[in-house]
Amino acid sequence: MSNEEFQFKISVVGDGTVGKTSLIRKYTKGNFEKNYIKTIGAQFSRFEKIIESDIVNLVFWDIAGQEDFDFLQPLFYKESKASIVVYSLEENELGKNSFDHVKNWVQNLRKYCGEIPMILFANKVDLVEENELDLLDIKSIVDKYNFIGFSLTSAKTGQGVNEAFDIIIQKLYKKYKD
């Protein structure tokens, strides 16, 4: 049986400072950068993964969450095969707003990409008491917008990061392998 090669573009979206760049860096390079560096427009990271002896080339498009870059989003979304929507679990205005804005990110993705698989990352779980989280709100938005699931993640500690990325990657692999 011959090995196949796949390439998937995955758009990573969410409000500014929710941890998109840090999550990608943690998954692709295994490290965490303490200092915040604002993404200008978009940046992309390549990562290769072997699944069942097939080569899966992943290109993560880290799309700036600041409104200044909204006009570029249609260009950045083009040809995305899946998306990761990230919000912050922080118990402050950033956290609340980033959760409320999930619907906007989903609407834009659907507008420009159609019905691609999406997963929700509830990031910065290291900054909250996990046993006090109300998962009903998260499950409600997952069901409402037809996410394939959600993961509690922390780019800082690595909690849930590999598993979360692997969910969307496996979904894409199975979809295009068959």
* pLDDT single digits (tens) 68-101: 656 677 778 889 999 999 999 999 999 999 999 9
What's the confidence (pLDDT) of residue 36? 60
Q: In what order do the strands lie in the sheet with 42-51?
A: 42-51, 54-63, 5-13, 82-88, 118-123, 150-153
Residues of the chain with pLDDT under 70: 1-2, 35-42, 65-71
Q: Are 73 and 79 in contact (CB under 8 A)?
A: no
What's the confidence (pLDDT) of residue 160? 97
Q: Which CATH architecture has domain 5-177?
A: 3-Layer(aba) Sandwich (3.40)
